[in-house]
């Protein structure tokens, strides 16, 4: 029996772009959009058209160029925003209007100065207006995880009555925890009439470092669309990282029996394209796409890896399009990895030579953080002949 499909909604070009230092011009957005299409995302959220002329033009360009995925345009639940979103996205092969309104009392009181009743009216009118333009309408209850659960039931009931096809439950400020978020999704599934006929979406921010864990808990509870960004870029601490969600679902299919349409071997290229465009480097220890994600330094780990990759690797670098596993030579490395590297460099060493080389290597690695091939070549050329 096939697994259920999780739609990957990429918001790198919208929420990701709201990350400090990550703004992109139209050409850069198009370049990234092509990568996202090659990656196989189901939805590209291309921007927030009412925000600026540039954003409008970028959404319009992505909508015209990327014909496979759904192209979404974000807008507040206001008539002018919705019209602008539609103008920008209407040229897409598969357009979506994504409209939102905050539903927590904190946002209603301090940001919108609206009562809950007024918010329900705005949601009804907003979804209705969006639906008059296109059948594919997503509604997001901003700050859902700090909203009253029964009020959320009322909010989503209204959105469904007006024809929303996707209901998003954002953890806007990265406040929830996996167990609670899973319970909220189940509560909504249980209480909102007609929810079985629509897609439940999740959108998690990473303020407590839980965005991916929360997204996966929501999937286990019934969500079927995950909103995420490449490299996890986004407001403040970022959004759920696409590559982590996708690889968790892929590697742990036994625990989470779902599949995505992502071409995993394109993940590294997409990550690097984004880093090149924005100039924002990926942290070295970032899961899946960080420089060290497939690097092993300690002697015990390197020995294990040389015996069998499965000892310390739960996925291969090739599976995500990365070059190869690297056994980084540093002060924690052992003879096995050193001998293997000498062999690869064309210098197979016998036991006594390797012993001498190892002594020189440990001396050098006390002085240098990382040992490069040039250092090893110096050891065989100069060091070994002198000893
Ligand atoms: O974080 C959030 O709530 C959002 C919504 C607009 C979907 O980005
Ligand atoms: Zn967000």
**Per residue in 93-108, pLDDT tens?**
999 999 999 999 999 9
* Residue given tokens 């992502």 in the structure block: 262
Closest ligand (CA of 171): 1
Tell me whether residue 381 is exposed, middle or buried, using C-beta atoms within 10 angstroms of its C-beta: 0 to 12, 13 to 18, 19 or more.
exposed
Question: For 123-132, 278-287, 362-371, which range has the lowest pLDDT when averaged over its residues?
Answer: 362-371
Whether 5 shows a pLDDT value over 90: the answer reads: yes
Of 320, 182, 335, the C-alpha closest to 263 is 320
**Per residue in 148-159, pLDDT tens?**
999 999 999 999
Q: What is the ipTM of this complex?
A: 0.99
Pocket test for ligand 1, best of 96, 205, 215 (most atoms within 8 A of CB): 205
- Measured by CA distance, the residue closest to atom 2 of ligand 1 is 172
The pTM of this model reads 0.93
Q: Mean per-residue pLDDT for 183-189?
A: 99
Of 47, 53, 50, 56, the C-alpha closest to 23 is 47
Q: Mean per-residue pLDDT for 224-229?
A: 98
Position 1 scores a pLDDT of 53
Pocket test for ligand 1, best of 49, 74, 138, 229 (most atoms within 8 A of CB): 74
Residue 289 — pLDDT band, cuts 50, 70, 90?
Answer: very high
| DSSP H helical ranges for the chain | 26-39, 53-65, 79-89, 105-107, 116-133, 149-161, 178-191, 211-221, 242-251, 267-278, 299-307, 335-344, 351-367, 373-378, 384-386
**Per residue in 297-345, pLDDT tens?**
888 899 989 899 999 999 999 999 998 777 889 888 999 989 988 988 8
Position 386 scores a pLDDT of 56
The whole-angstrom separation of Cα 23 and Cα 59 is 14
CA of 170 relative to ligand 2 center, distance in Å: 7
Within 6 Å (CB) of ligand 1, which residues are found? Answer: 15, 100, 140, 142, 168, 170, 172, 203, 205
3-class secondary-structure state, position 265:
helix
CA of 239 relative to ligand 1 center, distance in Å: 10
Residue 387 — pLDDT band, cuts 50, 70, 90?
Answer: very low
């Amino acid at each position: 029996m096939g697994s259920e499909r999780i739609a990957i909604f990429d918001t790198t070009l919208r929420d990701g772009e709201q990350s400090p230092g990550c703004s992109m011009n139209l050409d850069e957005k198009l370049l990234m959009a092509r990568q996202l299409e090659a990656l196989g995302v189901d939805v590209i959220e291309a921007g927030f058209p009412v925000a600026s002329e540039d954003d409008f033009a970028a959404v319009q360009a992505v909508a015209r160029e990327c014909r496979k995925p759904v192209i979404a345009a974000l807008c507040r639940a206001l008539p002018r925003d919705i019209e602008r979103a539609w103008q920008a996205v209407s040229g897409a092969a598969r357009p979506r209007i994504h409209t939102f309104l905050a539903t927590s009392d904190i946002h209603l009181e301090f940001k919108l100065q609206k009562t809950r009743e007024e918010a329900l009216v705005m949601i009804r009118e907003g979804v209705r207006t969006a639906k008059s333009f296109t059948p594919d309408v997503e509604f997001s209850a901003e700050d859902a995880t700090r909203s009253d659960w029964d009020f959320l039931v009322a909010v989503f009931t209204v959105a469904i009555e007006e024809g929303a096809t996707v209901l998003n439950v954002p953890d806007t400020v990265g406040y929830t925890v996996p167990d609670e978020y899973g319970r909220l999704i189940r509560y909504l599934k249980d209480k909102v009439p007609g929810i079985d006929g629509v897609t439940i979406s999740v959108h998690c921010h990473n303020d407590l470092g839980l965005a991916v864990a929360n997204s996966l808990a929501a999937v286990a509870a019934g969500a079927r669309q995950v909103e995420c960004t490449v490299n996890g870029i986004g407001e403040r601490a970022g959004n759920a990282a696409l590559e982590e969600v996708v690889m968790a679902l892929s590697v742990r299919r036994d625990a989470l029996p779902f599949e995505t349409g992502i071409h995993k071997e394109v993940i590294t290229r997409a990550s690097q394209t984004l880093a090149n465009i924005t100039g924002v480097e990926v942290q070295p220890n970032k899961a899946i796409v960080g420089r060290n994600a497939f690097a092993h330094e300690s002697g015990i780990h390197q020995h294990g890896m040389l015996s069998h990759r499965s000892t310390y690797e739960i996925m291969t670098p090739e599976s995500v399009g990365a070059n190869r596993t690297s056994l980084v030579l540093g002060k924690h490395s052992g003879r096995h990895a050193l001998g293997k590297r000498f062999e690869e460099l064309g210098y197979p060493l016998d036991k006594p030579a390797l012993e001498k080389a190892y002594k020189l290597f440990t001396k050098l690695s006390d002085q240098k953080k990382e040992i490069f091939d040039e250092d090893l070549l110096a050891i065989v050329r100069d060091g070994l002949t002198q000893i």
